Amino acid sequence: MSGNHHSSHDGHEDYGFEVPHSSFKGYVTGFILSVILTAIPFWLVMAKVFDKPSTTALVCLAFGAVQIVVHMIYFLHMSTKSEGGWSMLALIFTIVLVVITLSGSIWVMYHMNANMMPQMTPGEMKQMP
């Protein structure tokens, strides 16, 4: 064996990409943003800021989506450059599959409900053999 061969312990140089390493400041920033993004929806619900519960639910869902992004960036270290872009591609693929599954399920359930026989009510369905 040649003495010029050196091995890497983390193995990331072999694949041609770097793994982003976060600092303590990055983790603290992510934690503070997560606490804020949790406290605001909690306050919105407890203080009953909006008259309609559906408005409160939509605002809480929006804060939840932002919090997912914060977690992916600050804690999971996801970016377009991490792992050569494969982690971002896997995320996009997962989102597409979830959207297709949810929208297809909602579409099927809506049409099953809309196309039920008019004389069928839930009470009558229970009495059927």
pLDDT tens track for 54-77: 999 999 999 999 999 899 888 888
Domain boundaries defined on the chain: 16-77, 83-116
In terms of Cα–Cα distance, which of 103, 75, 80 is closest to 90? 80
Supply 29's token pair: 């920033």
pLDDT tens track for 12-38: 444 444 445 678 888 999 999 999 999
Supply 10's token pair: 């983390």
